[in-house]
Amino acid sequence: MSTKERVIIDTDPGVDDVMALFFTLAHENIIVEGITTVMGNNNDLDILARNACKVLELCPGNLSVPVYKGSSKPLKTEYIGQRGMECHGKNGLGNISIEEPKNLHLIVKDVPAEQFIVDTCTKYPKEVTILALGTHTNLAKAILLQPDLKNYVKRIYCMGGSFLYKGNVSPVAEANIYDDPDAAKIVFQSGIEITMAPLDVTAQAHLDPTFRDEIRTLGKIGQFIYDISQHYVDKIVEWGIPINLLPIHDSCAVMAFVCPEVFTEVARLRVEVETLGEFSRGQTIADWSNVWKKEPQTTILLKLDQKKFKEYYLSKLSQLVQRGIHS
C-alpha cells in the first residue's frame, strides 16, 4: 500500500483490538479519520473510549485522533458480551493498572459514532475504508441513518464470523457477529464490499510465547501489549486452547488491508447472517455453491502465511517505536 488511505477504525478496545490499533497507527500512509467505539469486549463506552485514548497517548507524538462513542447495546437485544469481558478483563486491558490518559479531550461528546461515520464517508466519497474490529452495531446504525452509504464507503475490512471452523461463543457463531447478528445482517445486505477475516483464518495467526517475547522487546508499546495480553493468555489457556495456538483476531482484518499478500487463499462469495435460528443465531453462512444466485459481496480470507504475518507485524510495530526514538 503506497498511496495515502483514509480509514475509520470501529473497535471495542480489548487486547487484540489494541494490537490492531497500534498496527494500523504504525502505517504513516494511513490517515485515521477517527476511532469509533462499540460494545463487545465491554459495554462501558467510557472504558472503551479511554482505552482508545491510551493507545493514542502511547504512540510517538501522542497522536491526535478523535474518538467517538458508539453503541453500548445491540440493535434489538441486551448486551450479551460478558464472555469477552471475562477474556479481556473488566477494563479491557487485561486488568492491569494503567494511568488515566491525559488526552481524554480527544473524546468527542456531542457526535455519536454513526453520525461521524456518515459525515466522514459523505465528505470523502469512496475514499474511506472502515476497519470493523468489533460488533457491527455502529455500522448498521450508520446505514439506517444513510441508506445509500454503499455509495460512499470504499470498503469494509472486518474481523468476524466462522465458516468451516467452529464458533467461539456457540457451536457455529463468532463473538462479533453473535453479539449483534441483526446489525451484521444489515451490513452484509447493505451492498458495501466486504473483506472478512473469520475464525477460519484468525485461528492461524498465533500469539505464541516466542511472538509475545519478540513484541515485548519493542519499547514501551511492546511492553504494554505484553502486559495487557497476559490475562488473555491465561484465560484462553484455561478454556482449553494450547498456549502456542492463541489467536490474534483483529490484526488479521487490518493485515488484509495493508498487506493482502500475507493471505494465500481467499474466496469471493455471498455471505448472509442468521438472526432467527434457535441453535444457529449469529452464524455466518457462505453460499459456496451459488444456490442463492445472489451477487457475491464478500472476500473471505481462508489461509495465511504465519511467518509473513509475524514478520510484517513486527516490522511495522518496530517502525512505530523507532519513530518515537528519532522524533
Q: Which three cell numbers stand for residue 239?
A: 478454556
Task: Tell me how far apart the alpha carbons of residues 250 and 201 are, in angstroms, rounded to a whole number.
Answer: 11
Q: Is 57 helix (H, G, I), strand (E, B) or coil?
A: helix
Catalytic-role residue among 27, 88, 231, 249: 249
Told to judge if 249 belongs to the known catalytic residues of this protein, a careful annotator would answer: yes
Q: Across the strands, what pairs with 31?
A: 6
Cα 25 vs. chain centroid, distance in angstroms?
13
Told to judge if 227 belongs to the known catalytic residues of this protein, a careful annotator would answer: no
What is each CA distance from 285 to 80, 171, 177, 215, 216, in whole angstroms? 22, 14, 12, 35, 38
Q: Mapped to the 3 state alphabet, what secondary structure does 14-55 carry?
A: CHHHHHHHHHHHCCCCEEEEEEEECCCCCCCHHHHHHHHHHH
Task: Tell me how far apart the alpha carbons of residues 52 and 324 are, in angstroms, rounded to a whole number.
Answer: 19
Name 219's Cβ contacts closer than 8 Å, sequence gap at least 6.
Answer: 321, 324, 325
Q: Which three cell numbers stand for residue 140?
A: 448498521
Looking at the chain, which runs of residues are DSSP E strands? 5-11, 30-37, 67-69, 107-108, 128-132, 153-159, 194-197, 263-269, 271-273, 284-286, 298-304
Tally of CA atoms within 13 A in the half-sphere of 309 that contains its CB: 26
Q: Which three cell numbers stand for residue 22?
A: 497500534
Task: Tell me how far apart the alpha carbons of residues 15 and 18 are, in angstroms, rounded to a whole number.
Answer: 5
Cα angle value 310/305/20 (rounded, 5°): 45
Catalytic-role residue among 12, 180, 208, 250: 12
Among all residues, which ones are annotated catalytic?
12, 249
